[in-house]
Structure 1
Amino acid sequence: MKAIAQERFGPPDVLRLVEAVRPEITAGQVLVQVHAAAVNPYDWHLMRGDPYVARLMGGTGLTRPKVRTAGIDAAGRVAAVGADVRGLRPGDAVLGFCPGSFAEYARTTPDLLVPKPAGLTFAQAAAVPMAAVTALRGIRTVGRARAGQRILVNGAGGGIGTYAVQIAAALGAEVTGVCSSRNVELVRSLGASHVVDHTREDFTDAPRRYDLILDNVGNHPLGRLRRALTPTGTLVANGGGPPGRVFGAVGAMLRVIAVDRFVRQRLRVILPATPAGPTHQDLLDVAALIEAGTLTPVIDRTYPLADAAEGVRHVEQGHARGKVVITVR
């Protein structure tokens, strides 16, 4: 089968199209024939081994990538199921987390898959798992959003942000989206009542205060973010920061956790949803929102599998509007 492999840490050029052995499955596993796979910032962090502290924590591999086939989000059809797998059978259309999804086939477990909503193409479905589940957790689970609250989403035009705006609006919140000039109308169309163009103004300088801020960017000091909150508001920090840093977003997240002990405001951190973290129910909830017409994937552009490196480069450079998807078949 064709796959995108990586033998060393580095820029997108380290990603190569190769002929690889089709994964074999054992009891409790599922083999998915991948039709499309999404690109996430998570992918380029793994590609570069960034931040360096993550290598010491065992998340990426110390000197070489722990996982040699790139990708994690996928949509496709079940090709085979192992013994003890219930509820899935060959031919079923699914979406979910499939490590090594930049390939024609990927191996996963049934708890990381849900049926593909009938109204989505495979490319749209691939854009769902990590970004939509992270947004759902940031707004609903960790942020505890409620109707009538003022909620701000920083990075509203990105993969997580476009879902977060829709989820917050569906909960009945008054949503403010922060994005670049070219994404203003997009963010407004997703349900934002107010849109801040960060190239023209800084929301932390404005007098408006928010009950919940979901920060997907990490481009403001913690003190300024707290100033934009109400006295008992909640900050949910979701990483951010440039590649090549020793600590990267880890340092900022530790600072959030430390300060939370001494203030009335709720300061929380979340990590991108991955196979180590997502629950089957989160995926089901996201799929249900899509089926109900509440949530719609936003796709910036697609790349064929052979050009996966260019897709990762586009996301790493911060140019993506919504999601970037790799089409496999």
Structure 2
Amino acid sequence: MTNLIDTVAEVDEARAADVVIGKGRIIFRRFMRNKTAVTGLAIFLGLFAFSLFGGFLTTWDKETIDPLNIGMGPSPEHLLGTSQAGIDLLALVVEGTRVSIFIGLIVGGLSVLISAVYGCSMAFFGGKVDSVMLFILEALIMMPAILVVAVATSGGGQSLKELPSWLLLIAVLLFFSWMGTARLVRSLAMSLMQRDYVKAAKYMGVPSMRIVRRHLVPNIGSLLVLDFTRGITGAILAEVAFSYIGIGIKLPDVSLGVLIGGATWQVSSFPWMFWVPLTVMFLLTGSLAMMNDGLRDAFDPTSTSIGRAKTKKKSK
């Protein structure tokens, strides 16, 4: 309730100063007042920058072997140590972080787009179209994801084996990641179909896909933004899990899951090889969780977890 009063105070202040504040700006202000969410954003941006420019911190790459430092701990020459094969761990972690973030962004973004279009289309057309699309959706949800991943990345035929393992994993994760959100979007969009502006657009002969794109999708934007951050987290965790058990990304491709899985059975002998990528994974998923909580509170005007807005004192 306090946060709702603060938001109203901001709007009243803007009206008094003849300034129009858009909804996006209000949400941005509320998000930036959440210290936890801002901290999560800073950590994520730092890891993203590390994945892009971390290679400049070392003169070694993920393919070069140092025969004089095989399985060695952190040193001035190798800041994070080396693997059992003599490869610089910092170079491997940079590559693994980049691959994991890339998978998360691609799967999270495309799954939101697919679920929004599919769910809104079901609600808009209704009738038999909705029944058929809902039947297809329910059938896909029943498919075992882990079995499909194993077949696609291990025994999918010669043509699939020639593709990079990370590309196959993206395709499989994207195939399964949009279904739950699409069903939720359908229920929300069906309530929007009863609004007067949607009925007026249909009566005026506005094309169906334009109504879906301009009237339905924007009105469920908060759900889609939150699902985007959740989708990134889910894709990264799925990549780590599948690669850990050997059915995800495979060598010579590198990811956080590959590094964690490869060092699990040698934690006592090479602890740096296990704890460094595991720490990066925790920081990555933890920062996304903090950002998601901040976005949820920013979109919710009744939330009381963000604090009070600063108001200007009226000059006498």
TM-score bracket, normalised by the shorter chain, equals under 0.3
Quick check: which one's helix share is greater? 2
TM-score (norm 2): 0.24
